[in-house]
Chain A
Amino acid sequence: GQSLEQPSEVTAVEGAIVQINCTYQTSGFYGLSWYQQHDGGAPTFLSYNALDGLEETGRFSSFLSRSDSYGYLLLQELQMKDSASYFCAVSGGRRALTFGSGTRLQVQP
């Protein structure tokens, strides 16, 4: 089977940097994805890592270590609009995603 662990809540202030960690167990692995979901909204894609290393997209970066079954999402220069839930997800033996339970990020002024 597949399972993922991520913190349930994180709080940070505007302008700060926050890292959301994700560890996973999966049989078969294609990649680790990150999705953002605002309250009442649909998940939106942020990043995808298939290989080890850091991927940077603007203020957001994502890291993967396949040997450690570990990844993280790094959010820089936090803005109030970044307050949302962040989900890591793995695509394993099938291409559909298995999602973590989500990390609720609260950005404070």
Chain B
Amino acid sequence: GAGVSQSPSNKVTEKGKDVELRCDPISGHTALYWYRQSLGQGLEFLIYFQGNSAPDKSGLPSDRFSAERTGGSVSTLTIQRTQQEDSAVYLCASSSTGEEQYFGPGTRLTVT
């Protein structure tokens, strides 16, 4: 079956611009996660959606970051007024159990 998909795969943007990153989770997975990974580093938790519950936003690094999940499926991560330190690979994952997370291929964001 289809895995987690993300778009775009690459995004180059100028400092100060807003960007939107999209995630399509595996159908039926109630949990959706956003992480980011800087080069050679581990994954940093950003935000977590579980069903219809209020999202866990405790990992968002600033109020420039926001995310929504529509209809319990597709999610969009928005970064406003991008900064160079936002450059990273943004990874989305989904899960049905919370024990095993399935990751998408990521969006490589470069802020110039």
Which residues of A are in contact with B by a Cβ distance under 8 Å? 30-31, 33, 41-45, 48, 50, 87, 89, 91, 94-102
Contact = CB atoms under 8 A, between A and B. Distances in A.
Contacts, number: 55
Q: Which residue, B42, B44, B50, B101, has most C-beta atoms of chain A within 10 A?
A: B42
B50 A97 contact: no
A100 B31 CA distance: 21
A83 B108 CA distance: 23
Contacts of A42: 91, 103-106
A42 to B, nearest CB: 4
Interface of B: 31, 33, 35, 41-45, 48, 50, 56, 58-59, 91, 93, 98-106
A16 B67 CA distance: 45
A101 B42 contact: yes
Contact of B45 (A44, A45, A96): A96
Nearest to A31: B99
Nearest to B100: A45
B43 A45 contact: no
Given A43-B91, A95-B31, A96-B56, A48 B45 contact: no
Contact of A48 (B44, B48, B100, B106): B100
